[in-house]
Chains A and B, each alone.
Chain A
Amino acid sequence: MLNYKVLDLTDEKGFLCGKILGDLGADVIKIEKPGGDLSRNIGPYYNNTADPEKSLYWFAFNSSKRSITLNIEDSEGYEIFKKLCSNADILLESFKPGYMNNLGLGYKELSVINPRLIMTSITPFGQTGLYKDYKASDITLLAMSGLLSINGESDRPPLRMCFDQSYYLGCAHAVTGTLLALHCRHNTGKGQHVDASIYESVVRCNYREPFRWEWEKAKTPRMGNFFARGGKGYRQLWPSKDGYVTWVIMMENAKPVRAWVDWMKEEGKSGRWAEINWDEVTSFLKWAPEDIQAIQDSIAEFILSHTTKELEAGSIKRGLLLSPANSVEFVAADEQLAKRNFWKDIEHRELNTTITYPRFTYLSSEGCNEIRFRAPLAGEHNTEIYAKELGFSDKTILSLQKRGII
């Protein structure tokens, strides 16, 4: 889909941005420190063996990229980097604000070399502002964004989400900014600096709390498995016979509950709910809280007496708004994902195996959006890029290698 050259200097905060562009067809070159990026040391690992070339975390977010090693802090490395930039469309980086400037590689300098260059910076707080130099990681960013304060249970500390959700959110937003800059470049001929703030990306997800405060002077407490809506909480996780499902009562729409009652009737389990004239019930807005609780309890009992598979089939057939809460093995075995050809086996020759990956982030009638090849080994494409694409002689490459520049 996209035919651009991308240089990717990011660490784990920015991995996913280049991966999305790579899956879309861009030629993404990961530039690692000689010896390999430190972020290769994040688990889980293939075969549970801690090894920078076996990090599944690295694999997951660096597929569809090539890799070279380069020390951009070295004066020769700096020149090589500038050469790479002169011929690139996009530069991705996630260093502390000011780091690239201090090396003489800030957007201003680079745009002199290549006015068409788009530089995308993915940082915890953005390039400006009071917090720009704060140290941050996923958990502190989620904390500051207000998401932690509404995630978790009331008798325990605020709770983190899984993996590094804040980084992925920042990266996805960074891709939108980068594509937007490309769109602008088509009109103006000029690149620009895209400033993606991970913090703001997460704050944007917290769509409810700032406005609840502004309008109701209220804050949502941590409610465990309850879905907050209109200042109230409604249970959204229910145990089935063999697992968990998600379902929530919609106060303004009684249709799904009516569908539940119809199903309960068929199995002779509808009790008092069969006596209601459901044609007259369009919402629960006027129902007494005890009745709302009671009907949820009846549904809970019904859920508990059925398997997740039965419930899912019933939901699709009847429009119950229920779905399974899958653990990873059920995600992997999901029939819908299989039918949509969502998984792709990618060869890892050095490991003498193939690993299954999510194939695409979305489907397009034009194709062109899927994982293309496995993540690179550190410096795997040094020869390909330095010799074949930049025309360095073997001797130069060897010398750069010896001196730890590449």
Chain B
Amino acid sequence: MANQYALEGINVLDFSWAGAGPFATKFLADFGAQVIKVESKKRPDIGRMTPPFKNNLRHPDASALFIHTNTNKLSISLNLRHPKGIEIIKKLVEISDLVMENFTPGVMGRLGLTYDVLKKIKPDIIMASSSIYGQTGPKSQLSGFGNTGCAISGHYMLTGWPDREPVTPGIAYADVVQPIFTSIAILAALDYRRSTGKGQYIDTTQVETMVHFISPAMLDYFANGHIETRMGNRSTYACPHGVFPCRGEDRWCAIAVFNENEWKNLCDVMGNPDWCSQQKFSSLTLRQEHEDELESLISKWTIRFERDELASMLQQAGITSGSVQDGQDLLDDAHLAERQSFIKLTHPVIGECNHPTQPVKLSGYTPQMRTAPCLGEHNEYVYKELLGIPEDEYNALLSEGVFE
């Protein structure tokens, strides 16, 4: 009973590829939507060619990274350059609720698959396009990579040490932010369709979503003319606030002190050395004025401890703290294990390995997790069962290269 609903019955025709698109449709698939991923054998999703690979084999079905953004999906291979390929797409549109794509703006139009065309086939269709800079406007044709949206929206320039160049994120950050908003847009559109019967066209961009994640800086500029800059690990309203060295090589612990009570607790844990009671550390403002010195004094104390030992000692004293973990730590993290953030599934080529689940849990719904599809794995199911293409016609299309 509990698992009967969520997005069951929602059909998604998914042209998306690389990072930002598939990440959004993974969300829909993990919560029960039937997501049909459209690829071609000639040009599979570039995500399939992204390392790490099983046995270092560069093969479309061997990328361990690909499987993380494509769980629970179905994959078909289809030649969109073949006129019959487009005919098949139109048949799939008839049975779809949503069409998702993240090509460079204009590509869907050249395929003859604009929203207007789709709407004629299925009047209440929802179409979502995800791009860097938008479907309209003078810069819509700008192409980029996973961090382009981050750079344009101001994130680069706000990240880093004040005395050095900006620091770019260690991941393709916009590629993981934008898809959450694409999912929001799609779920809101489904809600809207339920109450009005109308579909809609959705245009999400990396740049616009990322601006929301720095909006206090934008308001500060518009209201005060102030250009926010880089402040390393420091905070305007907490001090100390940083990452402190621990025993061992490249071991660190983050510590944040938001009020005088927490500062007192920190001094207690450190054994109240004389410097703690100096006037210059006696308030937030004063500590901020002497933050270099303060950080160096605290570092001399933190370096004596193991990372996790320090974090837990501070937690017990009521101080906000956390170990700087790495990929290995995450796979060993008891909390994440308890919450099933990663679960083991068996992929036919890659074998048994971890797959990430969704960070938000619903009390009445447990996602059913299935590994990502191999390229074209569901051709027969989609073409024969869903579309009802008879065996002989299927074979004819196959030999004509329509399913390439």
Do residues A47 and B224 form an inter-chain contact, with CB atoms below 8 A? yes
Which of A29-37, A67-75, A77-85, A328-336 forms part of the interface with chain B?
A328-336
Contacts A56-B220, A224-B167; is A362 near B181 (CB within 8 Å)? yes
Partner of A143, one of B188, B207, B228, B254: B254
Contact between chains at A159 and B192 (CB < 8 Å)? no
Q: A212 with B327: in contact, given A60-B216, A246-B148, A361-B208 (CB under 8 Å)?
A: yes
A158: shortest Cβ distance to chain B, in Å? Answer: 5
In the complex, the answer to whether A331 meets B335 with C-beta atoms within 8 Å is no
B184:A197 contact, CB within 8 angstroms: no
A294 an interface residue at 8 Å Cβ cutoff? no
Chain A hits for B211, CB < 8 A: 331, 337, 342, 358
B217 in complex: contacting residue of A180, A201, A219, A328, CB < 8 Å: A328
A300-316 residues with Cβ-Cβ distance < 8 A to B are: 312, 315-316
B176 → A minimal CB distance (Å): 4
The reply to whether the CB of A326 lies closer than 8 angstroms to some CB of chain B is yes
For B216-260 the 0/1 string (1 means CB < 8 A from A) is 111111111011111011011110011111000000111110100
* CA gap between A140 and B327 in the complex, in Å: 16
Say whether A352 faces chain B, with CB atoms less than 8 Å apart: no
A144 touches B165 (CB 8 A): no
Cβ contacts under 8 Å, A159 to chain B: 159-161, 167, 232-233, 243
B396 contacts partner chain A, Cβ-Cβ < 8 Å: no
- Do B322 and A143 touch across chains, with their CB atoms under 8 A apart? yes
Given the interface pairs A157-B243, A205-B171, the reply to whether A149 lies near B232 with Cβ below 8 Å is no
Contacts of A16 in B (CB 8 A): 212
Q: Is the CB of A43 within 8 A of B362?
A: no
Stretch from A166-174, A260-268, A274-282, A392-400 contacting the other chain: A166-174
* Cβ 8 A contact of A361, one of B181, B242, B322: B181
Contacts of B322 in A (CB 8 A): 134, 136, 139-141, 143-144
Q: In the bound complex, do residue B157 and residue A325 qualify as a contact, i.e. CB atoms below 8 Å apart?
A: yes
Q: Is the CB of A208 within 8 A of B171?
A: yes
Q: What are 11 of the A-B contact pairs (CB < 8 Å)?
A: A43-B236, A129-B339, A152-B170, A165-B213, A172-B184, A173-B360, A184-B364, A195-B360, A244-B165, A328-B154, A364-B189
Instruction: For the complex formed, measure the closest distance between the CB of B57 and the CB atoms of chain A, giving whole angstroms.
Output: 12
Stretch among B61-69, B80-88, B274-282, B372-380 lining the A interface? B61-69
Query: Out of B152, B170, B181, which one reaches A326, CB within 8 Å?
Result: B152
Those 3 A-B pairs whose CB atoms lie nearest each other, nearest first: A209-B327, A150-B170, A140-B322
Contact residue range for chain A?
A: 35 or more
Which chain A residues border B230 with CB–CB below 8 Å? Answer: 162
B28 to chain A, nearest CB (A): 10
Q: Quick check: A163 and B203 within 8 Å, CB to CB?
A: no
A158 and B161 within 8 A (CB): no
Interface residues of A in 204-219 (CB under 8 A from B): 204-216, 219
Asked if A188 and B359 sit within 8 Å, CB to CB, the answer is: no
Among B54, B157, B194, which residue has its beta carbon within 8 angstroms of that of A186? B194
Alpha-carbon separation in the docked complex, A231 to B53 (Å): 12
From DSSP, what is the main secondary structure of chain B's interface residues?
A: mixed
Distance in angstroms from A314 CB to nearest chain B CB is: 11
Q: Report how far A131 CA is from B182 CA in the complex, Å.
A: 30
A331-B152 in contact given A131-B335, A231-B51 (Cβ < 8 Å): yes
Q: Does A42 contact B (CB under 8 A)?
A: yes
| CB <8 Å contact, A207 and B154 | no
Interface flag for B326 (CB, 8 Å): yes
Most interface-central of B183, B253, B336, B358 (chain A CB within 10 A): B336
Complex-state Cα separation, A195 to B106, whole angstroms: 39
A103: interface (CB < 8 Å): no
A-contact bits for B340-379, CB 8 A (1 contact / 0 none): 0110000000000110101111111100000000000000
Q: How many residues of B contact A (CB 8 A)?
A: 151
Q: Would B188 and A24 count as touching, CB distance under 8 A? A: yes
Residue of B6, B153, B168, B237 with highest tally of chain A CB at under 10 A: B168
A contact residues around B7 at 8 Å (CB): 180, 183
Given contacts A56-B224, A246-B156, 15 further A-B contacts (CB under 8 A): A157-B243, A159-B159, A162-B217, A177-B362, A197-B359, A200-B336, A205-B171, A209-B326, A210-B328, A211-B327, A212-B52, A332-B221, A335-B139, A337-B211, A356-B218
- Bound-state Cα–Cα, A201 to B156, Å: 21
Residue B137 is within 8 A (CB to CB) of chain A in the complex: yes
* B212: chain A residues within 8 A (beta carbon): 16, 168, 358, 361
Flag whether A353 is at the interface (Cβ < 8 A): yes
CA–CA, A129 to B340, complex, Å?
10
Given contacts A183-B190, A321-B143, contact A215 B224 (CB under 8 A): no
Task: Let me know if A145 is at the binding interface, CB within 8 A.
Answer: yes
Question: Chain A contacts of B185 at CB under 8 A?
Answer: 361-362, 364, 369
Find chain A residues with CB under 8 A from B359 CB.
170, 173, 196-197, 200-201, 203-204
Contact with B along A33-74 (1 / 0, CB 8 A): 000000001111011100000001101110000000000000
Partner of B145, one of A3, A136, A248: A248
For residue A194, CB closer than 8 A to chain B, the reply is yes
- B residues 144-182 near A (Cβ < 8 Å) are 144-148, 150-161, 164-173, 176-177, 180-182
Do A56 and B216 touch across chains, with their CB atoms under 8 A apart?
yes
B189 to chain A, nearest CB (A): 7
Chain B residue nearest to A175 in the complex (CB):
B184
